[in-house]
Amino acid sequence: MEVNGCLWDMWVEEALSKLESLKVLRSLRPIQLPGEIARQSTCNETSPSNPSQEFQVFDGPREWDRASVEVNISESTFQKWLHDVPSSGDDNDVMYENIRADDKAEASKRKLRKLIIFSGNDYLGLSSHPMAAQAHGMGPRGSALICGYTNYHRLLESSLADIKRKEDCLLCPTGFSANMAFMTAVGNIGLLIAGGKPSKDDRVAIFSDALNHASIIDGIRLAEKQGNAVAFVYRHCDMSHLDALLSNCPMKKRVVVTDSMDGDFAPMTELAKLRKKHGFLFVIDDAHATFVCGKSGGGAAEMFNCETDVDICIGTLSKAAGCHGGFIACSKKWKLLIQSRGRSFIFSTSTPVPVAAAAHAAVIVAKEESWRRNAIWKRVQDFHALTGIRVESHIISLIVGREDKALQASRLRVTLSAVHTKDDLRKLTSALAQCVNFQEIGVLSRNCYPKL
């Protein structure tokens, strides 16, 4: 059934031909802006010759790295938070009441409490890296299809395509909009080929993991609402259930979409085998694994050595890249289709130039500074050593057995960062031990869903 991969190429080409005949095929035309990146040659975009010369990289933690996990909060705000007192966000003003101007700075120092973040998404600590904080103008503000697509955006897309081992990449305003754009575009294939509402069996069958992200679910619902797709939900990571659904599906245009990981990993190897058996289009949302997993940070597909089996890779730049935005790594044909039919991409203002430039720097730094990946996996091992809980990744969802304890420990999703220290984890586990029975968690975690 591997031949179905060729069928998808044929269907995409048919859809593109239809769009071209209707004169609605949309194009991206990079606007060249002045600046350091603009002066660099883009002739060999997908393979920067010497990234380490273009961006300063380091072989270990520096003083600025802690800024991504350490924050200060006023004591009054902390106490209100601790006791769940409602706030409109102006708590910091309290600390300045009735204080002389000369004493404000000293009072501020006395009344601030340092907190360590275990709930953020900056897995590699790149948000505070100096290479991700260079000054750039905002650039043209408009849709990428009108005036918002610049050489900065193109360089970012090329670097993402390179790390994902794909022919091209489409930059989107957010990871949410990336999933929405893809789902609506893939649903349009049957509509375009049929020249109208597709017949029942000509619609696209989308098989979705039960615990997929809300953006995937909403995108599928929209495609269904338009009458172009039908959704089939398989039990979380249950390959036998997915195999049965695929075997009983009469539709030829089949897509399987999964989160690559969220506490646990998607069974990538088994999914690749099913792809060979059934010939579906294999799509992963690699939001949590991108830059963290794999030798070069290519994500779950690189980690499990199945990059060539993944057809479409969707991701975000707001997690391990420490930045903002989303992307779809794919073939040039798929990119052209999505930018022509993905409404959440078409009708959104493009990513600001400084964000695109910072994200491009983050991609290069994340790839080059491999110590960050080594560090985060060491923290995963440390968490296991301190708690006895078997965890698979830097995202840890703790589920307790008794309702009263679940309410007491209301925030049980823990995310680890490369710039956390073992001492940070000791403090965390000591605090958690006051409301969580680690032995109980160790028994339950293997049979519980990873999401709260």
Using DSSP's 3-state secondary structure scheme, residue 441 falls into helix
Strand arrangement of the beta sheet that strand 168-172 belongs to: 168-172, 326-330, 312-316, 281-285, 254-259, 204-209, 229-234
The full DSSP string for 369-417 is -THHHHHHHHHHHHHHHHH-----SSEEE---SSHHHHHHT---EEE--
How far apart CA 207 and CA 10 sit, in angstroms, is: 21
Q: What residue has token string 């039990």?
A: 235
Neighbours of 40 (CB within 10 A): 14
Segment holding 362, helix H or strand E: helix 353-368
How far apart CA 164 and CA 208 sit, in angstroms, is: 22
How far apart CA 144 and CA 218 sit, in angstroms, is: 23
Which of 380, 366, 360, 396 has the alpha carbon at shortest distance from 291?
A: 366
285 DSSP assignment: E
pTM above 0.85, yes or no: no
Contact between 351 and 369 (Cβ < 8 Å): no
Residue 40: predicted pLDDT: 46
Residue 438: predicted pLDDT: 80
Residues, the chain: 452
Residue 297: predicted pLDDT: 95
Contact between 351 and 325 (Cβ < 8 Å): yes
Residue 305: predicted pLDDT: 96
How far apart CA 289 and CA 244 sit, in angstroms, is: 28
Segment holding 427, helix H or strand E: helix 422-432
Contact between 313 and 331 (Cβ < 8 Å): no
Segment holding 395, helix H or strand E: strand 395-397
Instruction: Provide the H-helix boundaries in 46-165.
Output: 51-54, 75-82, 104-110, 151-163
Residue 2: predicted pLDDT: 52
Contact between 182 and 227 (Cβ < 8 Å): no
Residue 239: predicted pLDDT: 97
User: Along the chain (452 residues), what's the average pLDDT of each consecutive run of 10 residues?
Assistant: 74 94 87 53 44 72 82 80 66 44 52 84 78 60 84 92 96 96 94 90 95 94 93 96 97 94 86 96 96 95 96 96 95 94 93 90 92 95 92 83 51 89 95 81 39 28
How far apart CA 42 and CA 227 sit, in angstroms, is: 42
**Side-chain-side CA neighbours of residue 262 (13 Å):** 20
Which of 355, 266, 255, 257 has the alpha carbon at shortest distance from 12?
A: 255
DSSP helix, strand, coil percent of the chain (3-state; round to 5):
45, 15, 40
